[in-house]
Amino acid sequence: MKKIILVFVILLNILINGQIKHIYTGKVDSILIRNYSYYDKETSTVNDTNESNSIQLLNSKKLTEKQIVFLNTLLKSKKSYLPERALLSHFNKKIEYFINGAKIQDITLSTMTKNITIYNREKLIYKAKMSTSLEKGILNIEK
């Protein structure tokens, strides 16, 4: 039984580390953090009759070189992710990486559910839950 659990833990660790390695943290032209107001049926109030979905851009910020280095350090850390995930599809932040004007990586975050989803060139490469340190680090970058 102990061997089975050990093998499972090792495989899970390899899987998580393998996915983290696909996160792009190389040279970019710019990185933008965008904040959204996200509304859908899952996030509505009890007696709400509005059935439409709504995603509105609230603000956008271009990161400095120092902030980019700090963000990439956070994203490379294994301690930034937890192996769980909420079922809601809610998000209210996006971090977008650009090279030559083309978006190469898109990270969606939810401060409500703590979900993080990472797409590299529109291909899903990682889904998890943000650790408290990653969430606080991203919020500090926005200040």
Mean pLDDT (10-residue bins), the chain, 143 residues: 62 50 81 86 65 81 94 90 81 92 92 90 88 93 86
Q: At CB < 8 A and 24+ separation, what contacts does 104-113 make?
A: 104/24, 104/28, 105/23, 105/24, 107/75, 109/135, 109/138, 110/86, 111/135, 111/139, 112/43, 112/88, 113/86, 113/88
pLDDT of amino acid 24:
78
Instruction: Collapse the DSSP code of 95 into the 3-class scheme (helix H, G, I; strand E, B; otherwise coil) and give the result.
Output: strand
**What is the residue-wise DSSP string for 7-39?**
HHHHHHHHHHHHHHTTS--S--SEEEEEEEEEE
pLDDT of residue 100: 92
Find where tokens 């990270």 sit: 107
Domain-by-domain residue ranges, the chain? 2-142
This prediction has a pTM of: 0.76
Question: What's the pLDDT at 65?
Answer: 94
